[in-house]
Amino acid sequence: MPMPFSAQEIVETIRMVQMENLDIRTITLGISLRGCAHPHFETMASNVYDTVCRRAEKLIAAGDAIQREYGIPIINKRISVTPIALVAESSAPDGYIAVAHALDRAAAEVGVNFIGGFSALVHKGMTGGDRALIAAIPEALTSTERVCASVNIGTTRPAITATRNRTRSSATCRPSCGGSVHTSSTDRCSARSAHPSSTSRTTKK
């Protein structure tokens, strides 16, 4: 049964959209990349690109349909994928940059603003894959346009260890890459290189 709206409510909504810039800040599509793992990084990168393009091919059209139906603009459309440190664990260290480029190409192909997931979850310890991803963050961010990276170094239960924080900081704060680190109340630290059109891709609205 349709929900009745009064004329005042309709006018208030229109005013919020036109005068107060009411919008939907972001819609996000989550994609699992666990099936993309492969010991050869070229194959893995190709699997990542194909999976993202296939799963997200209708995301922009769906977002546009929501905008038309409700009359409220959607500012950003983005994708979030399985942390790459988990997916690329079995590949060579060079594979992480290849995956970052594959993610960037896929994001451009489907038309999203950002793609997140170039990430490592190290709050309970670091593997070789986690270290390789953290080391790859500066190059990955400076050589891509849409990829976002994050390193989860602690939670309220295992807390934050100095070793993991130092490893993350030394990688993401290199002066040569123009990186910036942002710490939130949930202890998630994200890095995103400076870009001419934005300040930080992890914080851009």
* Residue 170 CB partners (closer than 8 Å, separation 6+): none
Residues 128, 131: Cα–Cα separation, whole Å: 5
Q: Which of 86, 197, 105, 87 is nearest to 144 (CA)?
A: 105
Banded pLDDT at 197 (limits 50, 70, 90) = very low
Residue of 128 and 15 predicted with greater confidence:
128
Place of tokens 């914080």: 203
Which tokens in the block code for residue 139? 């190059």
Q: What are the pLDDT digits (tens) for 115-126? A: 999 999 988 888
Range scoring the smallest mean pLDDT among 7-21, 125-139, 172-186 = 172-186
Mean pLDDT across 25-31: 93
Reported CATH class of domain 7-191: alpha beta
pTM over 0.75: no
Query: Considering the chain, what is the average pLDDT of its residues?
Result: 79
pLDDT of residue 160: 63
- Give residue limits of the domains in the chain: 7-191
pLDDT at 25: 87
